[in-house]
Amino acid sequence: MSDYHPFVPPMGQARYFGRTHSQVIESLPPHRLELWKTRLDSLRAVPFRGNTTDGNIVPGLFALRDEGAPTAAIMAAVATLLGTLTPEQLKAVKHPIDSMARRQWVNEVPRYERYGIWLDEVTPAVRDAALGVVRASLSAAGYEQSRNVMRLNGFLGELVGAPIALGEFCYQMHVFGEPSATEPWGWQLYGHHLCLVCVIVGTQMTLTPAFMGAEPRYADAGPHAGLRMFDAEEQIGLELVRGLSTAQQRKAIVHATTIPAGLPPGRHQGTDGMCFGGAFKDDFIIPYEGIAGAELDPGQRQVLLGLTERYLATLPDGPLRARMSDVERHLAQTHFCWSGATDDEGAFYYRIQSPVVMIEFDHHKGVLLNNATPQRFHIHTIVRTPNGNDYGADLLRLHYETSPHHQKHSHHAHGHAHTHAHGSDHDHTHAHTHADHDHGGHR
């Protein structure tokens, strides 16, 4: 694994050194705050549609069904959380099911929004109750992975002398909708290097967008020394690309580098690196690239399925089985593409993209550390549900259309309509122009 130590800035020179959250906001240049407002305006101006490959939603991909989600346990955990809150906290935490707050997640350090509760600003009892909601909703492995992201964020804060702005519990949580065994609702947790959006409809659930990252990806000192992340995601990806024949690699490897200067104009996404699925990119058109599952042999397809399951395994058993069934059903259409190195040292990016899931893995340049080019010790990953089911939006549509007491609200209650046309301003070129409007390097 690559060594981050040569890139640690001298103590006192790192971004956010010694700053409180209010000092971080105060130190931002005016254009950063204006950019935030512009991004929010863009979300409000265009109804959610979802990522597609050509601008057209593929119909009939999702259905209401019993997936065995642990809804009762999640409801009990949320009830415990809400019962620990003051009236002011309760007002901040609860939002309508169609709240724009669901889509306002960012992978940043500055706290632009004050809705929800911040886990580093509440009592240990409230924080534990909030984490109890995450634990009840995810698989055991998924919960541990989420907590490890948080732990490494705290390690980064100590490493660069910014333990307040970058802490283990610098994460914001809120609940949208009324917890129910039958009606749609959910929760969201986000902060630096972690975003989870959980939507529950009966015994179904979605957990996308799901963003996880780490800089550095391992701790070698302090209370979490020995903690490492993303080893399997990296190694199985390498196994898959190395296991392709020369002819298959010619299709799968679309770029030899992930450094912007070596890429076509607009391909690099600024502070999102190579990833198309970052914050404020809910509606991007992302054409298929690379090699299709239909062109893989049975062994290669199994590796692809195993890699996909590695990311979806944050879900509890029932929803995971349902999601993997969807993935297998569309395996022939699933595309795998790669950019960058295939050796044991160099940085790379890969994407798994099908009608029902999009997964991205990216080695990243330094943000708090000083590496100017991508290194293997800084990783971003993103999981999205394309064709309109991020944020559980298509399940909400189906619920409202099929529940008699909701039918009069079926079009507007969830801010999602397949008939909304975006035209050329949301094509792949649009995605590239958005790279100029990044998060000021705070990724």
Which pLDDT belongs to residue 166?
97
pLDDT at 293: 98
Q: Could you tell me which residues come within 8 angstroms of residue 412 by beta carbon, excluding any fewer than 6 positions away? A: none
Q: Is this model's pTM higher than 0.75 or not?
A: yes
Return the HEC string of the chain.
CCCCHHHCCCCCCCCCCCCCHHHHHHHCCHHHHHHHHHHHHHHHHCCECCCECCCCCCCCCCCCCCCCCCHHHHHHHHHHHHHHCCHHHHHHHEECCCCHHHHCCCCCCCCCCCCCEECCCCCHHHHHHHHHHHHHHCCHHHHHHHHHHHHHHHHHHHHHCCCCCCCCCCEEEEEECCCCCCCCEEEEEEECCEEEEEEEECCEEECCCEEEEECCCECCCCCCCCCECCHHHHHHHHHHHHCCCHHHHHHHEEECCCCHHHCCCCCCCHHHCCCCCCCCCCCCECCCCCEEHHHCCHHHHHHHHHHHHHHHCCCCHHHHHHHHHHHHHCHHHCEEEEEECCCCCCCEEEEEECCCCEEEEEEECCCCCCCCCCEEEEEEEEEECCCCCHHHHHHHHHHHHHCHHHHHHCCCCCCECCCCCCHHHHCHHHHHHHHHCCCCCCC
CA-closest candidate to residue 158, choices 364, 1, 5, 17 = 17
Main-chain dihedrals φ then ψ at residue 322, nearest 5 degrees: -65, -45
Q: How far is 280 from 269, CA to CA, in rounded Å?
A: 12
Who contacts 417 (Cβ-Cβ below 8 Å, separation ≥6)?
47, 49, 397, 411
The tens place of each residue's pLDDT in the chain, 443 residues long, gives 689 999 999 999 999 999 999 999 999 999 989 988 998 888 888 899 999 999 999 999 999 999 999 999 999 999 999 999 999 999 999 999 999 999 999 999 999 888 899 999 999 999 999 999 999 999 999 999 999 999 999 999 999 999 999 999 999 999 999 999 999 999 999 999 999 999 999 999 999 999 999 999 999 999 999 999 999 999 999 999 999 999 999 999 999 999 999 999 989 998 899 999 999 999 999 999 999 999 999 999 999 999 999 999 999 999 999 999 999 999 999 999 999 999 999 999 999 999 999 999 999 999 999 999 999 999 999 999 999 999 999 999 999 999 877 655 444 444 444 333 333 333 333 333 333 333 333 33
Residue with tokens 């980064």: 156
Encoded tokens for 226: 């020995």
> Measured between alpha carbons, how far is 427 from 440 in angstroms, rounded to an integer?
23
**CA-to-CA distance for 320 and 313, rounded, in angstroms?**
6
pLDDT of residue 94: 96
Alpha-carbon gap, residue 32 to 112, rounded angstroms: 10
Token pair for residue 430? 């649009």
**How, if at all, do strands 185-191 and 171-176 pair?**
antiparallel
State the number of CA atoms in the 13 A half-sphere of 377 facing the CB: 24
**Residue 119: per-residue pLDDT:** 98
Alpha-carbon distance of 214 to 150, in angstroms, equals 9
φ, ψ for residue 258, nearest 5 deg = -115, 10
Q: How many CB atoms lie within 10 A of CB 10?
A: 10
**Whole-number pLDDT of residue 406:** 66
Dihedral pair phi/psi, residue 260, rounded to 5°: -50, -40
What are the backbone dihedrals phi and psi of residue 52, each rounded to the nearest 5 degrees, phi first? Answer: -140, 170
Q: Is the dihedral of CA 27, 155, 257, 330 positive or negative?
A: negative
CB 264 within 8 Å of CB 296? no
